[in-house]
């Protein structure tokens, strides 16, 4: 068990979502707090996106969590509860981020993580994280949906605790992101846009906003807009996709685990599911990194692409407040920034060790320094 931790009263260090929101989560004094300091992520005004759309756009940058994705919010909860119930090993299927998070939180708690990932289909940064954190990692010769089916089966029939988002503790922890948005804005936004894979996060934000409305902290239920990759869009099509395909490997999911919950959340919030092709995902990825200064993995950029698409469709009124969640850090899967739109590699210019030559390449005219 981690050492007992008593934050000093004046410390400004964020204490992780279980401590910050203890009164609003399904935990008790008996629940150990397994935390790496997740949550408290920045909500960043995105002037470039506001200018493009006429809306008032903010980006919730979930790549700022300890393992670089939003999964840590649900994982602190799931691992804490697993330890409370005496689990010695946890298991998950993953497109990468869940495995990185499960591995980190399990090892922090002193228990074993087992992770099942689709062979050759997860970003290198995420594979590296799971191995770094001492998970037992198996590459399954199938896709994510196969991995999840096996993980559920193993957890039912063997002494290993499931920490995928079919475990309700995960969504419970993830809802805290909505609390943070309401705290910062002073109300819920008009629209909230998220990438969708298993639709756990979509469901979690809706729950968080619903609770804020009930508590009287906000005055409205945001319209929940979720986006899937065009080659992997079961919720848009209305049926599972057998061989999902997209460069956004995090959301290459054909049979979302939270399907029914997500449909309820869509109905309750006057929400929407849309599909975005890979070209537009990469365009949005570039806009976010080059114009706003936020580097995300491709799956996360679909929130930006979704905003631009819905804005072009005339659905987002001028002046509306829009929050985009970007779910994972760009450093997990950095190769996409190094490609040009035509698919060739970016080649940084090579220069000699020579001031004049470099000034010439930069197009700087000789004169006084600034």
Report the interface residues with ligand AN7, using CB under 6 A: 69, 94-98, 165, 195-202, 250-251, 297, 299-300, 327-328
Q: Which of 71, 136, 79, 78 is nearest to 106 (CA)?
A: 79
Cβ–Cβ < 8 Å for 117, 137:
yes
- At its nearest, how many Å lie between ligand AN7 and the CB of residue 72? 11
Look up residue 80 and give its two tokens. Answer: 């804490």
Cross-sheet strand order for the sheet of 136-140: 136-140, 112-118, 89-93, 161-162
Look up residue 310 and give its two tokens. Answer: 């819905």
Cβ–Cβ < 8 Å for 55, 316:
yes
Name which of 56 and 143 has its Cβ closer to ligand AN7. Answer: 143
Name which of 33 and 100 has its Cβ closer to ligand AN7. Answer: 100
Between CA 170 and CA 18 the distance in angstroms is: 12
- At its nearest, how many Å lie between ligand AN7 and the CB of residue 96? 5
- At its nearest, how many Å lie between ligand AN7 and the CB of residue 159? 22
- At its nearest, how many Å lie between ligand AN7 and the CB of residue 103? 11
Name which of 218 and 258 has its Cβ closer to ligand AN7. Answer: 258
Task: Tell me the pairing of strands 56-61 and 43-45.
Answer: antiparallel
Name which of 145 and 309 has its Cβ closer to ligand AN7. Answer: 145
- Range list of H helices, 241-335: 259-268, 278-287, 298-312
Between CA 35 and CA 38 the distance in angstroms is: 7
Name which of 55 and 251 has its Cβ closer to ligand AN7. Answer: 251
Q: Which of 149, 145, 209 is nearest to 174 (CA)?
A: 209
- At its nearest, how many Å lie between ligand AN7 and the CB of residue 330? 10
Cβ–Cβ < 8 Å for 162, 257:
no
Name which of 229 and 308 has its Cβ closer to ligand AN7. Answer: 229
- At its nearest, how many Å lie between ligand AN7 and the CB of residue 314? 26
Name which of 33 and 122 has its Cβ closer to ligand AN7. Answer: 122
- At its nearest, how many Å lie between ligand AN7 and the CB of residue 8? 34
Beta bridge partner(s), residue 115: 92, 137
The number of beta carbons lying within 10 Å of the beta carbon of residue 113 is 28
């Amino acid at each position: 068990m981690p050492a007992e931790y008593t934050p000093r009263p004046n410390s400004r260090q964020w204490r992780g979502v279980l401590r910050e929101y203890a009164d609003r989560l399904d935990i008790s004094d008996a629940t150990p707090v397994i935390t790496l300091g997740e949550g408290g992520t920045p909500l960043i005004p995105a002037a470039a996106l506001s200018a493009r759309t006429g809306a008032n756009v903010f980006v919730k940058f979930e790549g700022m969590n300890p393992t670089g994705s939003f999964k840590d919010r649900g994982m602190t909860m799931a691992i804490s509860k697993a330890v409370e119930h005496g689990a010695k090993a946890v298991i998950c299927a993953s497109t990468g981020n869940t495995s990185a998070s499960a591995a980190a939180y399990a090892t922090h708690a002193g228990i074993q993580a087992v992770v099942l990932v689709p062979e050759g289909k997860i970003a290198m940064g995420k594979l590296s994280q799971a191995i770094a954190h001492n998970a037992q990692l198996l590459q399954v010769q199938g896709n994510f949906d196969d991995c999840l089916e096996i993980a559920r089966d193993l957890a039912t029939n063997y002494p290993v605790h499931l920490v995928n988002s079919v475990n309700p503790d995960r969504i419970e922890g993830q809802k805290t992101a909505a609390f943070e948005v309401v705290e910062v804005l002073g109300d819920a936004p008009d629209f909230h846009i998220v990438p969708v894979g298993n639709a756990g996060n979509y469901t979690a934000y809706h729950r968080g906003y619903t609770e804020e409305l009930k508590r009287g902290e906000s005055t409205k239920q945001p319209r929940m807009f979720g986006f899937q990759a065009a080659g992997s869009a079961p919720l848009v099509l209305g049926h599972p996709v057998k061989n999902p395909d997209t460069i956004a490997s995090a959301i290459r999911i054909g049979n979302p685990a939270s399907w029914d919950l997500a449909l309820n959340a869509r109905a309750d919030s006057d929400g929407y599911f849309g599909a975005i092709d890979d070209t537009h995902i990469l365009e949005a990825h570039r806009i976010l990194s080059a114009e706003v200064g936020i580097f995300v993995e491709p799956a996360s950029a679909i929130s930006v692409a979704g905003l631009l698409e819905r804005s072009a469709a005339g659905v987002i009124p001028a002046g509306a407040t829009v929050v985009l969640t970007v779910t994972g850090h760009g450093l997990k899967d950095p190769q996409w920034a190094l490609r040009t739109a035509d698919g060739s590699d970016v080649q940084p210019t090579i220069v000699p060790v020579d001031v004049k030559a470099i000034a010439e390449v930069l197009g700087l005219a000789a004169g006084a320094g600034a």
